[in-house]
Structure 1
Amino acid sequence: MIRLIQSGLMFGNLVHISSPALVERYNRALQHLAGKTTALTDFHIDISGFSPEIGDELGDPLYLNPNGVNRQFILLTPEQKRAPLLNVKFSTSRPILRDFIEANEAQLFALTATDAVAGELVNSVFRLRSPADLFTLRKIEIEADTVGGTLKNADKLAAMIERFKTENDAWFDDVLIAEMIGISKQTGDISRNPVHLSHKAHEQRNFWTAHFGGLYLFPDMQHPAMICAGEKPRDEMPVKYVFDLSERNRIAKFLDYNKLAEPIVRARGMDAAAVLRQKMDFIVIDTAAGAGLNPAGLDRGDMRRLARMHADRLPDEYHGLAELARWAENGGDWPRISADHPAYFYGLRAADTPERDLVNMLLAELAPLDARQLFICHKELFYRHYASWSEAKKSFVADFLAREYQVDKAGARAALFGHEPEMESEDSPPGLDERLIERVGPWGAIRRR
């Protein structure tokens, strides 16, 4: 993993904490939340305040996420909003934290000038015993305050001020006045500088979780389903359809019925052939690395020669993508690739819906030889796969991502996943029957049971 870290592909954009004042505030917050402290004087934190160095020191990668359910957080600066979230257990956690920081940025800037803000993403479950429990996680609320209780004291002071202004004898209540003066020393003048954090409740409808081997939950769809990366649960679930990743036809039908995915070759403004050729290159590299070859420094011509040399070794994913690329470049007969074909999900991307990121994450898991999409859409799974690759493949993929993706992340994402209106039929290559596609799916009929 050192190669990824050095290239900024792992632990990138973490916030560096080295100031003694910030370390002291972090320790106070950590003691407040978890009853622990760190002896480190120099570490990095993610958007939630989790530090991989402190996780190693404590021997607990979940020291801010007990049971992996209610994520706790420590904010030392609003700049944490740009950091990633490590050890992700729910796909919704980072967006919720980022929304909270952005909605309260001015207040957090003032609060973190003197203290750390500690809090928790609160839901109704403290421990997951069954996948069915996940369907009860419908609403996530944020509870947060400074370690010194600034917000709590501000609310208390506001109530005292209201009492002082409305009760007839409050002017003569020396105890009340003394308490108000004492609390105001901690909160400041809340009449001129009110201290308040917006705590919007977040609906958690469709999401991914790392629990139970990895689950994609789509309960809030016209045709709801749960898709399991691991074994399917034996218990009855609150949704009618439960699939595992081997049930490719059923997953394809689910995506089709809910209009969640679209074929790459039909996307306007996208160089579909180039994207498909790049996916093929990753498959060639995987094959070459498996044969003991070193693919370092190869260009596109080298890739073609390598593919010819090892044509008998290349998997069906490569040959299916080659058909799609030839069609995208030259037209001709429409490729008949069913959902059973290993290349099917490589040729899809998420449609422009609110579930786009979740669907791209699922597609990345269904097309694991595309290392670039796996890295962009499902980093946790990318790191697991990377650990098992040969050194030659690790080197090629890390160099490619550092060279082609890191330098222009926004451009790469827009090229791969950005959305423009779909091509009209007159703009399509010859041989495309739009009515046939609508009837049988983008690459051919989805087998019906």
Structure 2
Amino acid sequence: MKHFEANFDGLVGPTHNYAGLSFGNVASLSNAAAVSNPRAAAKQGLKKAKALADMGMVQGMLAPQERPDLHTLRRIGFTGSDAEVLNKAAKQAPALLRACCSASSMWTANAATVSPSADCRDGKLHFTPANLVDKLHRSIEPITTGNILAATFNNDKHFSHHQHLPEHASFGDEGAANHTRLCREYGKPGIELFVYGQQATNPAAPKPTKYPARQTLEASQAIARLHQLDDNNTVYISQNPDVIDQGVFHNDVIAVGNQNVLFYHQQAYLDTKNKLAEIKQKFGDSPLHFIEVPTNKVAIQDAVKTYLFNTQIITLPSGEMAIIAPTNCQENEAVHAYLQEVVTLGTPIKQVHYFDVKQSMQNGGGPACLRLRVAMNDTEVAAVNQHTLMNDVLFSELNNWIDKHYRDRLSVEDLADPQVLIESRTALDELTQLMNLGSVYQFQK
């Protein structure tokens, strides 16, 4: 049996816009009110996904969510026809309308936490959608996320789907953006690392003072229980609250791991020495590479600006590892110099590939934000909805679909236009047929 780490990238939705909704996300706030290009955004993400498929990776796509979200607007009291609901929301509560128009589900690193079958006692691959309670525009995603995951990983024999955690700040859960798995081989039991920003039930524990800590220890522990993980294969690490206050809103902005490599910034964690020792002890005698990036080589501000750590580390069919980085890293002198150095350090990382995902970067998400990692065996890959797996046909179909339905210019003011809703629903209705997703959207019910 063969084993892989598949990447399931989020398709950028038709309402991709810059509303500056994410407090604590420097890029999101700094580009607020800029004019976006949904067509370019979707094609940039799609091109990156296809390139990984061409490298020999198992690559899938996850559908975007319905936006504007009329269901939520009606739940909070806006009435009338669809056009009237949008008009009233735009006049009475424009911030709420913007939240209900966000295309943030494109960042599927926040879609769910995934534990492969090798780690779980029941031998199934487990998914728990993130509740994303810290941000209004993201907190409306979990139910549809669960529907999309269930339509993609649609075989009860191999996949176990959980409900998202209780929608309370004590269980703030941001999904795989705060979760990393280390292993010798993808198909063998690994060490699951859960990184949290605060302990909700311990007011005396360290936490940031400027920006919110979105992931709680309590949420991470709950997911470990749901996924039937062994304590001997689980590590909980506290993120450094000082770096959260510098714009490191998720762990994947300051660290990334793959197989036996953990790539992280010097300031990423609290109690780093002891936690690395725990990882090493639980990992066993196999080679394990800790790549610590010192502050004197890459400042936190440069790491956040370029998303050096929001890169993907992938294992190619050759066995070598490659970093998938945004072109922003190439354009920063210090970061580019470090990436040139990292391939010479004697670790499995031997290549760096750069991709233009600037439309996503300007809204606060790099290459790693755009993908959900799923370690699988070939039997599980065969059990996936095959219409969601990247190949030449799907790439062509999705490009044509984007050309047909996406605008090349969208301002925040455009979101109240009923035509945007019509265009989005028309696009998604066609996509459900193209990707064989069934009725995953509210407007279809």
Normalised by the shorter chain, which TM-score bucket?
under 0.3
Higher relative contact order (CA 8 A, sep 6+): 2
Q: State the TM-score, normalizing by the size of structure 2.
A: 0.25
Which structure's residues are more often strand, by fraction? Answer: 2
Larger radius of gyration: 1
Q: State the TM-score, normalizing by the size of structure 1.
A: 0.24
Which structure's residues are more often helix, by fraction? Answer: 1
